[in-house]
């Protein structure tokens, strides 16, 4: 296992495209959260700065980070596609790796990138949370932190889908294009042919629903309204958003899809010639 890990680190860290995409991911996220924090819209009873306070920030930052999961999936596609275009998967098997060891290398890479993105969100959440929050009491601070782990599962699930497509097509460009098309067009259109309840079980929908759009209205006006004893309506209550599955069900669905993508990738690796 040690050799698998050291090899993945050698391959990735020396690869310029990898560093560029990771830096791009980091700075894009930073840029978005920084610029939106600078655009504080405050009217009586409503302030967007509430989004940056504990515990709302645990909900808001993972949601923003989820926009950039596409980059992480592309990164995995590039790194896996390279193994085919450089024919190094083939060479690794010739040198003595089994198919499961090839898979383990990429699973480790997915995990490593997932941990990086989790730490990135954690770091920025803490920095911005401490800057914008007034209440550091334990309850407020820790409430909703579980969303970070949910975000971690989401990032892993996206990257696993990317990995599966890269193994399926063995071509980086084709896998990236199809991943984007499937994510943005194919699955959303396909879902339209199914009843509302069934749509929530599609892979991309289930994975993206792990970090749903935060209730901006209730968060932004919640504190003020709560203080004044006024109930605020959520997007869902206003009929602007469909009902989601419970988080735990969504989480299990995403984990199931992750296992499915990885298993299918392994089957392809085992059955096909390298």
124-154 in b/e burial notation, b at 16+ Cβ within 10 A?
Answer: bbeebbeebbeeeeeebbeebeebbebbbbb
Query: Considering the complex, what minimum distance in angstroms separates the CB of residue 71 from another protein?
Result: 20
In the complex, the smallest distance separating the C-beta of residue 20 from another protein, rounded to whole angstroms, is 12
Instruction: Give the number of C-alpha atoms closer than 13 A to the C-alpha of residue 251, restricted to the C-beta side.
Output: 11
Residues contacting another protein: total by CB under 8 A: 24
- Between residues 67 and 272, which has the closer beta carbon with respect to another protein? 272
Query: Which of the ranges 2-10, 47-55, 56-64, 195-203 carries the binding residues for another protein, by CB under 8 A?
Result: 2-10
Please, what is the minimum distance in Å from the beta carbon of residue 12 to another protein?
Answer: 10
Nearer to another protein, 13 or 194 (CB): 13
Site for another protein in 95-154 (CB under 8 A): 95-98, 101
Site for another protein in 3-62 (CB under 8 A): 3, 6-7, 10-11, 14-16
Give the residue with the Cβ less far from another protein, 98 or 137: 98
Choice between 14 and 134, CB closer to another protein: 14
Q: CB of 49 within 8 A of CB of 79? A: no
Distance CA 150, CA 257 (A): 14
Considering only residues 77 through 96, tell me which ones interact with another protein, judged by CB under 8 A.
82, 86-88, 90-96
> Beta-strand (E) ranges in 13-141?
42-43, 46-47
Least spacing, CB of residue 26 vs another protein, in Å: 21
> Looking at beta carbons only, is 52 or 84 nearer to another protein?
84
Residue 194 DSSP code: S
DSSP category for residue 32:
H
* Residues in a beta bridge with 46: 43
φ, ψ of residue 47 in degrees (nearest 5): -150, 125
CA–CA dist 271, 274 (Å, integer): 9
Report helix, strand or coil for 232: coil
User: Shortest approach of another protein to residue 16 CB, angstroms?
Assistant: 7
Contacts (CB under 8 A) with another protein, residues 244-273: 273
For residue 108, give both structure tokens.
């480790």
From the CB of 98, what's the least distance to another protein, in Å? Answer: 4
Nearer to another protein, 16 or 35 (CB): 16
Closer to another protein by Cβ: residue 21 or 210: 21
Nearest 10 degrees: Cα torsion 147, 212, 43, 143: -20
Q: Which two tokens stand for residue 197?
A: 């309840």
To another protein, the closest distance from the beta carbon of 79 in angstroms equals 11
Site residues for another protein per CB under 8 A? 3, 6-7, 10-11, 14-16, 82, 86-88, 90-98, 101, 273-274
């Amino acid at each position: 296992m040690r050799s698998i890990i050291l090899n993945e680190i050698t391959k990735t860290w020396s690869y310029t495209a990898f560093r560029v995409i990771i830096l791009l991911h980091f700075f894009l996220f930073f840029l978005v959260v920084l610029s939106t924090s600078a655009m504080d819209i405050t009217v009586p009873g409503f302030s967007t700065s509430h989004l940056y306070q504990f515990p709302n920030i645990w909900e808001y930052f993972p949601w923003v980070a989820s926009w950039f999961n596409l980059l992480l999936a592309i990164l995995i596609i590039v790194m896996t596609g390279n193994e085919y275009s450089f024919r190094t998967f083939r060479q690794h098997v010739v040198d003595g790796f089994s198919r499961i060891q090839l898979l383990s290398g990429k699973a480790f890479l997915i995990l490593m990138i997932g941990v990086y993105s989790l730490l990135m969100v954690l770091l920025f959440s803490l920095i911005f949370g401490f800057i914008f929050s007034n209440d550091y009491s334990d309850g407020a601070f820790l409430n909703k932190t579980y969303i970070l782990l949910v975000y971690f599962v989401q990032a892993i699930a996206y990257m696993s889908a990317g990995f599966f497509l890269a193994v399926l097509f063995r071509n980086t460009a084709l896998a990236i294009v199809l991943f984007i098309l499937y994510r943005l067009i194919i699955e959303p259109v396909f879902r339209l042919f199914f009843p509302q309840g069934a749509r929530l079980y599609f892979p991309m929908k289930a994975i993206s629903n792990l970090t749903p759009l935060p209730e901006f209205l209730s968060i932004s006006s919640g504190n003020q309204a709560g203080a004044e004893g006024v109930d605020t309506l959520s997007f869902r209550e206003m009929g602007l958003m469909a009902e989601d599955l419970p988080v735990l069900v969504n989480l299990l669905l995403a984990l199931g899809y992750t296992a499915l993508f990885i298993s299918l990738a392994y089957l392809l690796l085992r059955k096909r010639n390298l």
